[in-house]
Amino acid sequence: MPQFILIGLCEPPGPEDQAAFEEWFVDQHIEDTAKCPNFVNGRVFKLSGPHLDGETVSGYLSLYEVEAPSYEEAERVLNEWQADPDAWEGRRRHMETGARLGGIPLKVNGSGWYELMKSFPGPKAGA
């Protein structure tokens, strides 16, 4: 089965939205999305610093590991999953949080599906 990574380059729309972003996105949305069929894992990372002279385009990176026949199929299943208010026991809470906050406290700077080409274990793998 092909393996994909779905990435999201996200951050709060502004400094005043930090607490709402952490509650909705960090504490709920990552788990909610990771519960989707075909999804193996969901993680979120906070930017710690730049690398070399590269531009840092987002304060947060979400990574979802997915196994699916194609990214199109994974996207279809994800869209159906997210549209279902009863997909899992935490979905209603997640939707209620968004409503209570007056919308989704999220600025998306980029996202996309990436198919695994090769993987090489490092010295810490399996340690």
pTM reported for the whole predicted model: 0.91
The domain limits of the chain are: 3-115
Per-residue pLDDT of the chain (127 residues; tens, 9 = 90+): 999 999 999 999 999 999 999 999 999 999 999 999 999 999 999 999 988 888 888 999 999 999 999 999 999 999 999 999 999 999 999 999 999 999 999 999 999 999 999 999 999 988 7
Provide the CATH number for the domain formed by 3-115 in this structure: 3.30.70.100
**5 to 15, 42, 110: CA distances (angstroms):** 28, 10, 14
56: CB partners within 8 A, 6+ apart:
47, 50
Residue 70's nearest CA partner among 25, 38, 106, 108 is 38
